[in-house]
Amino acid sequence: MKDIKLLVPDLPESISTAILLKWKKKCGEFVKLDEILVEIETDKIILEISAPIAGILHKKIFLEGELVKSKDILGIIQNSNNQIILKEKNKPVIIKSIQKNLKQSKKLKLHNITHLSPSNRRLQRFHELHNNKNRNLNLKEISKNTKNISNINHFSKNLDFKKNENNSYQLNLSIKSHNDNIQKIPMSPIRKKIAERLSLTQKNSVMLTTFNEVNMSSIIKIKNKYCDFFQEKYNIRLGYMSFFVKAVIEALKKFPILNSSKEKDTIIYHKFYNISIAVSTSRGLLTPVLKNAQNMTMSDIEKKIKYFSKIGESGKLQFEDLQDGTFTITNGGIFGSLFSTPIINPPQVAILGMNNIQKRPIAIQDKIKIQPMMYLSLTYDHQIIDGQQSIKFLKYIVEILQDFSKIML
């Protein structure tokens, strides 16, 4: 019998620790080669760690919720050279000795808890009876051993039985009361990192936000006219974000200072345009990057954004997907935001905020007309960028969006 160590993979230098999110197998269970065995969560993504060999999960060194580092030993897998695997209908069947261990590992035991009140001990007997072979026991039979059936119903809702490593159940003494009005949940790694980065930005930059508004009627006409053609040719829906990415790139070419980054007392100018797109997921806000977006078509942009949204929700974004952005676009308008003051994504020096499109009366050639209007917000680091540059930059974006033919010229 040979022991194989299950290791945490190499993490990037910017990530010191990760949290063990979930074990997929229990101790004593058989694992296949390359079967996903553990999930760990960094401050950016979820990593899936697969079994390096086929064997039995013998030991777990780290448990769910604990912090791990690169090359930490997560657990031990036992590999037997004498292990016999039979095939039945193309499915592996484990030898009887292993099957016996698996059956034993599934047996449930309830620890004797002597410090509970009489009503809680009645509940304990209820669970012992419930886990026996006779699963047809009704409340009348149980009531012979209890004075008040309502106690069982009450405590069964509020007591929490947790399963231990030895596959037995033990009462979690943090009993939830039906009168509790609060719930305490630890911050996830990604939420901690977001808080850390936002605090760092507030501390190390002088942020100022300038606003403008854009008449979206021209973009809406183009979108409505070519949406079916675009969908049929590229198999992707034409959205607003690709228009904004194109407009931003043209504006960055004219005002390169907004495509720079700050490194201590140095300003780094980038001759490429890596546009970070803010994507909201159930785990938090992520900003995957459209690398070299100046070389992407509008269909390329829409497909990449859809891809980022899909894998971002599942937590399967790669580290390289989140690195090396030079400018960020965030769209709070999809949630109904009318105004926003977005926070810079360091080490970048500016971020553009899109907002909700609303029909409003505006003056066009001395006539009042109802037009679809959007407020734009540009937050920038005043240490690096002057107000004049930021205002002209945002105004140029507005001009492009209101006459998108400028892109071709």
How many whole angstroms separate alpha carbon 251 and alpha carbon 235?
Answer: 29
How many whole angstroms separate alpha carbon 253 and alpha carbon 315?
Answer: 33
Exposed e or buried b per residue across 49-58, where buried means at least 16 C-beta atoms within 10 angstroms of its C-beta: bebbebbbbe
Reduce the DSSP state of residue 364 to 3 states and report it.
strand
The residues near 404 (Cβ < 8 Å, ≥ 6 apart) are 218, 219, 222, 243, 247
User: Cα torsion for 292, 295, 299, 300, to the nearest 10°?
Assistant: -40
- The residue type found at 31 is V
Asked whether the CA dihedral 259, 263, 264, 269 is positive or negative, the reply is negative
For residue 242, CA distances in Å to 275, 294, 302 come to: 11, 11, 6
Tokens of 147: 């004075």
Selection from 99, 92, 126 nearest residue 28 by Cα: 99
How many whole angstroms separate alpha carbon 268 and alpha carbon 349?
Answer: 10
The residues near 63 (Cβ < 8 Å, ≥ 6 apart) are 20, 23, 165
Tokens of 63: 């448990």
Tokens of 287: 């900003």
Question: Do the beta carbons of residue 124 and residue 116 sit within 8 Å?
Answer: yes
Selection from 329, 333, 330 nearest residue 373 by Cα: 333
185-189: Cβ within 8 A, 24+ apart: 188/19, 188/41, 188/283, 188/284, 189/18, 189/19, 189/41, 189/42, 189/43
Tell me the catalytic residues.
Answer: 382, 386
Question: Do the beta carbons of residue 404 and residue 238 sit within 8 Å?
Answer: no
Q: Is 83 exposed, middle or buried (0-12, 13-18, 19+ CB in 10 A)?
A: middle
